[in-house]
Chains A and B, each alone.
Chain A
Amino acid sequence: MEYEKIPAEKFRFVQENEKLHDTELQTKARGFFADAMIRFSKNKSSVIATWILLGLMLFSILSPIISSYSIWERDRIYLNYEPYVPSIAKKGLGFLDGARTFSNQNEASMNYWKGIAQETGLDPVIRQVNQYAYTVKERGKEVTKYSYDLEVNNYYALGILYRTLTYEEYEKIQNWQNETGIQVIFPYVEQKDINGITDKPNIWYAVDSKGAAKPDKEGNLVPVYSTRQEIAGPEYHSIRIPSDPGNYIYAYQKSGSLQCRILYYNYYIYMNGHEPSYIFGTNSGGQDIFCGIGVGARFSILFAILVSAINLTIGAFYGAVEGYYGGWVDMLLERISDILSGVPFVVVTTLFQLHLAKKVGIVPSFLFAFVLTGWIGMAALTRRQFYRFKGQEFILAARTLGASDKRLMFKHIFPNGIGSIITSCALVIPGVISSETSMTYLGIVDLSSFAGTTIGTLLSQGNAVVTTAPHAVLFPSIFLGLLMICFNLFGNGLRDAFNPTTRGIDD
């Protein structure tokens, strides 16, 4: 009988009429990632953290667009100014009103604020916080006096500045004033009339030698505007202040240019076309912090993702080679990573900056510093996974079937370890952001010419003025703290979701 040539119709199933017990599974098969996603979405804190994280990322994309300023715009006068949005400030809600607290304001200071309010029409005093009474002896009599703690709108409190203008500018500003009705140039005051005081351009009234106002009997300030027409320069044909009898001069001619008293708030409108509006205030570089946080965070996140991607790739390959080949290859490669991991990160960063920053740029050399030691943890992880799986039977089976080393490594072993590898990836990113912020905070790496600013730079600028302008360090800190917490929660959620040992426990 020929066994090779049995016709097909002669074959029949052994169990043709019996019930089969191992039928195919009726339910739909669930993939590894789908399974992880389901478990991830059961972890409430991680899901919330992920949404907040997305919100923060969205903020970092949108805030430079929403902000009226670009990160390269630096105001030279409004440095470390408080959060201020004109439309909200006018409602008097108690926030975003540019308020800075001035404590122990005596009578002279109160007159100073009054002077600004009276001249410019912008009253800097928002509200009184406290009132203290104290007695002094004045000509033998005891007199009760008051001092106040005030909240002052810092933008209005700046008031008037001296500024040297060219003739064209002077003319342009006057035309602009006529068009818009906003007064920028205010009548000139000669120093000899205000007791030679030079550092307070806001004074337009009679004062004593210390700069305290000398009001008349009714308590009104006495104007001492200059009326000397011979020093006035070109004719002034624009808005005059209400109390002007018509002979006040508005500029002081000085060696080919004109010195004027300009109201900076309105001058700002003239220059920028809108009122100052800084949601998070300004920093010591005159940058908008709202925009700065967005720009800094954008850089940090992109940089961290890039660094993690590179490190994970290098680490996975390195660990795969170590773990798969073992023996002397593993030995040698482990020694190399031992040495590299021993070098402190600060030293690596500094040396890379000193050697490479001029040749390849600051950002690439910073990147190299992260890459030099960053992959080691990843390599160790992959190596462990390879040691765990390479002796198992399915690898032996694949090898017996003739699979090449490359195929064994990346088709058979690597996918088994991918869960723990993905997990570590999510926890690498916050680590990179944290180190990057530290380095820019310490000033070892200065990225402000490349990225505009970074969170670290904002923090270090803010820390220098923490007593006068706490907002400058507050907002970047909150943002950074939130970002780190969310990234870590997100990472922990991923770890639990991909961890096969927790699988099935909660189902």
Chain B
Amino acid sequence: MIKYVLQRILYMFFVFMIIMFMSFVLIRMLPLPALAPNDPHTEILEIRREALGYNKPYLEQFWIFIKGIVTKWDWGTSEKLYIGRDVWSVFMEKLPATMIVNLYSILWTIPVGIALGVWAALKKNTWVDYTISTLTMVVISVPSFVYAFIIQYLLCFKLRWFPFVMKAGTDYFSWAMFKSIIPPILALSFGVIAGFCRTTRAELTEVLTSEFMLLARTKGLTKTQATVRHALRNCFVVVVPGIFGEFIGIIGGSLIIENIFSIPGVGGLTLAAITNLDYNIFMLSTCFYTAIGLAAGLVVDISYGFIDPRIRMGSKK
């Protein structure tokens, strides 16, 4: 098992480096943005560009870039948005806002989603199941920003329950801050709830019809006992890796939701970097999103092995 995990991690790292190299070359190939002529930073930035080898071959530039990261954790300097500032520190400033919104949304959506899924599966082919399944279907189909508009208009503007955009400042755990991020949390939540509900329902209905459930009932377990001890456990083999994947995904956040509710997070930063052509921030964002995507896949893969003994045993052969 450990060998398998290590193999996967190494492979993911390899993939990550290749993607990083490709995007690095593609970004460096773009014409450099002109620096403001009379700005005091211009000279420093020019010297920095020279030191980073902007005129050398791309392979050499990449080597300098990697060396900077490994030795000094230096991801470059912002040249447009936050002139002269270290990209990494700017990025780290933005990360908490993104994470807090997503964390809150996940904390309540996963239990609710799973509970709804279980309920629908247990009441299969009744009006409960039909209602939940139809709503799930609708919610999954409609893009999250459509809910965001509805929430923003109804709750923030018409009813005035919540402020229109996220509160400024860094007091992430204050009441005022919590209140101001409820709308984006809601907007993010619908999709997650529906996703978990659908997976849980599909898995559980399948498990409930399998033969070991019949065996469990014949040996004298009540329906509740059989469901909790046998059906739910088996259905979680598929659901739990999804939870892990979702948790990795929280730091990624949603570009659109951040945009609508003016959350000062990484999504907004990435978008600003794209529109203002701040290549160093964009490079870091690229690496960040790539790493999150790969890590989520990796965690899902590995957690299957930890949760399901059948897969764990299988890998030993």
Of B14-22, B71-79, B85-93, B167-175, the stretch lying at the interface with chain A is B14-22
| Contact partners of A339 in chain B: CB under 8 A | 15, 18-19
Q: Is B55 an interface residue (CB 8 A)?
A: no
Question: Which chain A residue shows the least CB distance to B286?
Answer: A347
Most buried by A among B27, B149, B150, B164: B149
Q: Which of A350, A430, A441, A459 meets B282, CB within 8 Å?
A: A350
| Contact partners of A48 in chain B: CB under 8 A | none
Q: Given the interface contacts A350-B282, A442-B255, does A342 sit within 8 Å of B143 by beta carbon?
A: no
Question: Which chain A residue shows the least CB distance to B256?
Answer: A438
Q: Is B152 an interface residue (CB 8 A)?
A: yes
Of A105-113, A193-201, A477-485, the stretch lying at the interface with chain B is A477-485
Q: Given the interface contacts A338-B15, A351-B26, A443-B275, does A466 sit within 8 Å of B157 by beta carbon?
A: yes
Q: Which of A355, A443, A481 meets B146, CB within 8 Å?
A: A481
Q: Given the interface contacts A351-B27, A466-B149, does A488 sit within 8 Å of B255 by beta carbon?
A: no
| Contact partners of B255 in chain A: CB under 8 A | 346, 438, 442
Within 8 A of A (CB), among B204-219: none
Q: Is A470 an interface residue (CB 8 A)?
A: yes
Q: Given the interface contacts A434-B143, A466-B157, does A489 sit within 8 Å of B293 by beta carbon?
A: no
| Contact partners of B143 in chain A: CB under 8 A | 434, 437-438, 480-481, 484
Q: Contact between A489 and B137 (Cβ–Cβ < 8 Å)?
A: yes
Q: Contact between B286 and A344 (Cβ–Cβ < 8 Å)?
A: yes
Tell me how far the C-beta of A426 lies from the nearest C-beta in chain B, rounded to whole angstroms: 13
| Contact partners of B157 in chain A: CB under 8 A | 466-467, 470
| Contact partners of B293 in chain A: CB under 8 A | 342, 344
Q: CB-CB contacts of B287-299 with A at 8 A, as 1s and 0s? A: 0011001100000
Bound-state CA distance A12–B149 (Å) is 82
Tell me how far the C-beta of B15 lies from the nearest C-beta in chain A, rounded to whole angstroms: 5
Cross-chain pair count, CB within 8 angstroms: 96
Name the interface size band of chain A: 35 or more
Q: Contact between B142 and A354 (Cβ–Cβ < 8 Å)?
A: no
Q: Is B10 an interface residue (CB 8 A)?
A: no
Main secondary structure on B side of the interface with A: helix
Q: Is B259 an interface residue (CB 8 A)?
A: yes
Bound-state CA distance A185–B274 (Å) is 48
Q: Contact between A492 and B137 (Cβ–Cβ < 8 Å)?
A: yes
Q: Contact between B290 and A344 (Cβ–Cβ < 8 Å)?
A: yes
Q: Is A343 an interface residue (CB 8 A)?
A: yes
| Contact partners of A338 in chain B: CB under 8 A | 15
Tell me how far the C-beta of A490 lies from the nearest C-beta in chain B, rounded to whole angstroms: 11
| Contact partners of B22 in chain A: CB under 8 A | 343
Q: Contact between A442 and B23 (Cβ–Cβ < 8 Å)?
A: no
Tell me how far the C-beta of B125 lies from the nearest C-beta in chain A, rounded to whole angstroms: 13
Q: Contact between B145 and A342 (Cβ–Cβ < 8 Å)?
A: no
Q: Given the interface contacts A442-B255, A477-B149, does A342 sit within 8 Å of B15 by beta carbon?
A: yes
Q: Contact between A347 and B23 (Cβ–Cβ < 8 Å)?
A: yes
Question: Which chain B residue shows the least CB distance to A460?
Answer: B259
Q: Given the interface contacts A339-B15, A488-B137, does A442 sit within 8 Å of B259 by beta carbon?
A: yes
Q: Contact between B153 and A466 (Cβ–Cβ < 8 Å)?
A: yes
Q: Is A463 an interface residue (CB 8 A)?
A: yes
| Contact partners of A473 in chain B: CB under 8 A | 149, 153
| Contact partners of B286 in chain A: CB under 8 A | 344, 347
Q: Is A487 an interface residue (CB 8 A)?
A: yes
Bound-state CA distance A480–B16 (Å) is 35
Q: Contact between A351 and B23 (Cβ–Cβ < 8 Å)?
A: yes
Q: Is A444 an interface residue (CB 8 A)?
A: yes
Within 8 A of B (CB), among A347-369: 347, 350-351, 354-355
Tell me how far the C-beta of A337 lies from the nearest C-beta in chain B, rounded to whole angstroms: 11
Q: CB-CB contacts of B219-260 with A at 8 A, as 1s and 0s? A: 000000000000000000000000000000000000110011
Within 8 A of B (CB), among A317-346: 338-339, 342-344, 346
Q: Contact between A342 and B30 (Cβ–Cβ < 8 Å)?
A: no
Q: Contact between B19 and A355 (Cβ–Cβ < 8 Å)?
A: no
Q: Given the interface contacts A344-B290, A470-B153, A481-B146, does A441 sit within 8 Å of B30 by beta carbon?
A: no
| Contact partners of A481 in chain B: CB under 8 A | 141-143, 146
| Contact partners of B260 in chain A: CB under 8 A | 463
Bound-state CA distance A489–B141 (Å) is 9
Question: Which chain B residue shows the least CB distance to A343?
Answer: B19
Within 8 A of B (CB), among A415-447: 430, 434, 437-438, 441-444
Q: Contact between A343 and B23 (Cβ–Cβ < 8 Å)?
A: yes
Q: Is B44 an interface residue (CB 8 A)?
A: no
Q: Which of B141, B146, B256 meets A430, CB within 8 Å?
A: B141
| Contact partners of B27 in chain A: CB under 8 A | 351
Q: Given the interface contacts A343-B23, A443-B275, A463-B149, does A485 sit within 8 Å of B138 by beta carbon?
A: yes
Bound-state CA distance A343–B15 (Å) is 10
Most buried by B among A342, A484, A492: A342
| Contact partners of A443 in chain B: CB under 8 A | 271, 275
Nearest 4 interchain pairs by C-beta: A344-B289, A488-B141, A484-B141, A485-B141
9 other A-B residue contacts (CB within 8 Å) besides A346-B255, A477-B146, A477-B150: A338-B15, A350-B274, A354-B30, A459-B149, A463-B152, A473-B153, A485-B142, A489-B141, A492-B137
A–B Cβ pairs within 8 angstroms, 12 of them: A342-B294, A346-B270, A346-B289, A350-B282, A442-B256, A442-B259, A463-B149, A470-B153, A481-B143, A484-B142, A484-B143, A485-B141
